Structure 1
Amino acid sequence: MTITEGRTLEQRKRDVLARLERETDVWVATADAGGLPCLVALWFAWDGESVWLSTRITNPTGRNLRDGGRVRLAFGDTQDVVLVDGEVRTYDGKEVPVAGIETFRAKTGWDPREDSASYAFFQVRPRAVQALNGVHEMRGRHVMKDGVWAV
């Protein structure tokens, strides 16, 4: 393995934001009240401040997002990863803000409300973001802490 110099915080932030715009799927990690973990891939949309997800409120991920209020999102592979820890706000299909559903529909081409009333929407506000491209970028990987970008 060749160790190279890592990206600046500014470049990492730009890369994170580009990834949020470009990618369609994200790994969603939740846990229930007893600590049982759940990991699924979901479509997502980024509105410039929050990540929007949708899944059925009746499945484990939906319940965990609603009840736990926290989530970890993961993009990429182990050599180019972005981790987002966020706080979750849950909306049913009738109360979801118009801007949230329009952002989600524009990105995915899908309106879950048309499939089933059991779909809920989840607004994830990032609280911490880590970005690293290999071991050499472990130092300086925190590009957001306590909801504030480092740059």
Structure 2
Amino acid sequence: MTENEGTPRDTAQRKKDVLARLEKEVDIWVASADGDGRPYLVPLAFLWDGESVWLCTRRANPTGRNLAAGGRTRLALGHTRDVVLMDGEVSTHPSEDVPVAAIEAFAAKSGWDPRKSGPAYVWFRVRPVAVEAWIEEPEIVGRHIMREGVWADGA
């Protein structure tokens, strides 16, 4: 079984667990689509700054192009029995527009400093607008812990 042994967590505990995972985990799944709706799914290193997720990749690769053009993404943490899904609005930033503290925290967490990889790399800030979290079937009800950018009551 999983860590909750079938007892559903309340909204506040789910939010606490999601925030802890955002602090701890190094990589996140990033879903995007091109103008024709062709999907892309890749893992990227990330930083949670307490309000947003920061990602960095080459602007010219499919994910970079899609994030820059589409302005939306779905992020995912965890495996299929302990899920966190985050829908967010994306903004694109050159390195000089990203807070130095965010870049340094990203580099410390991931072991990679994109500033050393050249100007082809850009940053994407993802502001969450919806978050779902559940561990297996008993938690499907109540999985929406953020909607329209607002944490649910009790979160």
TM-score by length of 2: 0.92
Q: Residues 25-36 of structure 1 correspond to what in structure 2 (within 5 A)?
A: 25-36=27-38
Q: Residues 100-115 of structure 1 correspond to what in structure 2 (within 5 A)?
A: 100-115=102-117
Give the secondary-structure state (helix, strand or coil) at the position aligned to 1:58: coil
| C-alpha contact (below 8 Å) 1:89/1:122 kept by paired residues | yes
Q: How far does residue 141 in structure 1 lie from its aligned partner after superposition?
A: 0.1
TM-superposition CA deviations, 1:27-81 (whole Å, max 9, x none): 0000011100000000001110010100000100000010000000001111000
Which runs of 5 or more residues in structure 2 are unaligned?
none
Give the secondary-structure state (helix, strand or coil) at the position aligned to 1:77: coil
1:49 aligns with 2:51: yes
1:68 aligns with 2:70: yes
Aligned to 2:10: 8
Q: State the alpha-carbon separation in 2 of the partners of residues 102 and 122 from structure 1.
A: 15
| C-alpha contact (below 8 Å) 1:46/1:103 kept by paired residues | no
RMSD of aligned residue pairs (Cα, Å): 1.6
- Structure 1 segments of 4+ aligned residues over 6 angstroms from their partners: none
Farther-moved stretch of structure 1 (100-109 vs 124-133): 100-109
Q: How far does residue 104 in structure 1 lie from its aligned partner after superposition?
A: 1.5
Q: State the alpha-carbon separation in 2 of the partners of residues 94 and 5 from structure 1.
A: 46
| C-alpha contact (below 8 Å) 1:7/1:137 kept by paired residues | yes
TM-superposition CA deviations, 1:59-114 (whole Å, max 9, x none): 00000010000000001111000000000110122322323323322322322121
TM-superposition CA deviations, 1:97-149 (whole Å, max 9, x none): 32332332232232212112100001111000000000111100001111111
| Percent of aligned positions that are identical | 60
Number of matched pairs: 151
